[in-house]
Amino acid sequence: MKILIVDDHPIFRKGLEYQLNEIPRVVVIGVCSNGLEFLNFIENKMPDIIFLDIKMPVMNGIEATQIAMKKYHDLKIIVLSMFGDEEYLTKMLDIGVKGFLLKNIEKEDLVDSINSALNDKIYLSPELISILNYIHHNNPKKVIANKQLNKKEKEVLKLICLGHTNIEIAKILFINPRMVSRYRDNLLYKTGCKNTVGIVTYAINNHLIEL
């Protein structure tokens, strides 16, 4: 498993590289200190997973990810940040990243995020989920969007956000996989989203799920 680290802090890079190299079948093939170096690197060598910081000099992680994803649609990027607010989270998920980790990560978080990305699932740092859950329970605003979805659509939405496939959702809810596809299409239509990442972002923004 080839990993690329993109972060402007040398000490953090070294620590992350050490943790990653301790994981079986994982090898760090390169480190970059800004978004521009990252874009140049993947022109010559393509990693399986990219751990990428948001705030960097020369070119930040958001801009670099936008450029990279336009050219390489299947990139598996996991965001690293000191920030836990929704602004960064939803923006990066909307672009198409596979995970969002706060920098106080443990080795187990790295393993889980890598496995999730490889299975095209989205992984959020446990601390970040706690923050979002707090915001959800302390937000006085009534969510109009929540009323647009029926009970079954909400159940499917939650399972999508947890990273389950259509077949897995069908087994959990005891329904036909084709019905899951229909519910997913309904969710895309009602939310105005184009893909699964969009649905997850929408659900987080509108507090439609218990995180």
Helix/strand/coil percent split, the chain, to 5: 55, 15, 35
Residue 140 pLDDT more than 50? Answer: no
- What is the average pLDDT score of the chain? 84
Structure tokens at 63: 């801009």
Mean of the pLDDT values across residues 19-26? 94
Instruction: Mean pLDDT check: name the lowest of 11-20, 104-113, 152-161, 197-206.
Output: 197-206
Residue 132 pLDDT more than 70? Answer: no
CATH code, 2-125: 3.40.50.2300
Provide CATH 3.40.50.2300 ranges for the chain. 2-125
Mean of the pLDDT values across residues 138-160? 70
Structure tokens at 208: 């439609």
Predicted pLDDT at 138:
56
**Candidates 3.40.50.720, 1.10.10.10, 1.10.8.50, 3.20.20.100; CATH matching 139-205:** 1.10.10.10
Mapped onto helix, strand or coil, the DSSP state of residue 141 is coil
Provide CATH 1.10.10.10 ranges for the chain. 139-205
